[in-house]
Amino acid sequence: MTAIPNALPGPYSARAAANAVEPPATVGERTDASQITHQVWRTGVLASFAWAALGSLTLAWPNHEAGFTDWAFTSEFGVAALFVALVLVVWSVLAPKGGRWSSSVRAAGQWLVAAPLLITLWEVLTAKLGALPPPFFAPPQSLIEVVHEDWSRLALSTGHSVRLLAHGFVLGALVGFATGVWIGWSRVAGYWVHPLLRFLGPIPASALLPLAFFFAPSSYAAAVFLIGLATFFPVAVLSWSGVASVNKSYYDVARTLGASEWFLVWRVAIPAALPQVFVGLFMGLGASFSVLVTAEMMGVKAGLGWYLQWAQGWAAYANMYAALLVMAVLCSGLITLLFAVRDRVLSWQKGTVKW
């Protein structure tokens, strides 16, 4: 074996000799050396204690009846909290530190501690002390009762709301996107349509509720129109702004290469404006949810808005809180889905777009 000359003086030569004597590790050896280790997750242990305290308090402290029958599903709620505590403590001790799921759970660690504390405060003020009087305020276990006894009506209302929201949102987004691109590209549309958009756009869609129900052939069509109108304005404005703010040099380069007008619109203007278009979609989704509740309260015969009105009419406030919780989860899920679509569609712009 020939000796390797010391080309570099000092520690660099020693380092080179060491690397020459010991060959680099293979891929498998590097994987074994960097193998994921199990480490106790302290925040998870703290969260498990918080959930265990919630379950123990729920089971050990008798409910304050205050003239009402005892709240149902109290024992089941306490056992469920203890089960969550058990799962968290097992996860905190045995789950590996790396990995996608582990990273996501660890990122939500502080919320896993705060959630049982807030629920405990809710439980104490309602079921245990009666400081927040029923039936206007219901404890957490009442939501379990609503799901157990009225899940079919709640699920049917959720399905109707999702269908109505999908029809109105998609219709408003498509028309708003086309209108915004038209205004941003065409000088004629910018002269005639843009002033009308700025004049009529800020009017709340719910203010047109009587006209929509008068001219629409059915209450469902009127609700779709109102939701679409609420989505239309932010999408149209942001699409117009995105197309109008495209760097003119992009068009000059494309024209130099022989691009047609349609190519400039579809392959230059629209891709460059997509970040602002998605901002308009996010704003339109929030506006469509507010109009959804109003429209379902006034006209349609099913949906979460109708369910809220029905619950208020019968003083079933636990049902009302359950419907509000379903709406919050539904809105959050749709926003998360829209974020995923945006990241997928705009993946080619990473590095050039501020995320």
- How do residues 266-301 score in pLDDT, each as one tens digit? 988 999 899 999 999 999 999 998 888 888 877 677
For residue 21, tell me if it sits in a domain. Answer: no
Would the pLDDT of 34 be above 50? no
- CATH code, domain carrying 285: 1.10.3720.10
On average, the pLDDT of the chain sits at 84
- How do residues 341-350 score in pLDDT, each as one tens digit? 999 998 877 6
Band of the pLDDT at 69, cuts 50, 70, 90? low
Same-domain pairing of 128 and 171? no
Q: What's the mean pLDDT in 132-150?
A: 89
* Interatomic CA distance for residues 139 and 90, integer angstroms: 28
Q: Does pTM top 0.85 for this prediction?
A: no
For residue 33, tell me if it sits in a domain. Answer: no
* Interatomic CA distance for residues 299 and 306, integer angstroms: 9
Same-domain pairing of 176 and 92? no
Same-domain pairing of 183 and 285? yes
Share above pLDDT 70 across residues of the chain, in percent, rounded to a whole number: 86
pLDDT at 134: 80
Band of the pLDDT at 29, cuts 50, 70, 90? very low
For residue 290, tell me if it sits in a domain. Answer: yes
Give the chain's domain count: 2
- How do residues 206-251 score in pLDDT, each as one tens digit? 888 888 878 888 888 888 999 999 999 999 999 999 999 888 888 8
* Interatomic CA distance for residues 178 and 165, integer angstroms: 20
Domain containing 321 equals 141-349
Would the pLDDT of 315 be above 70? yes
Same-domain pairing of 183 and 263? yes
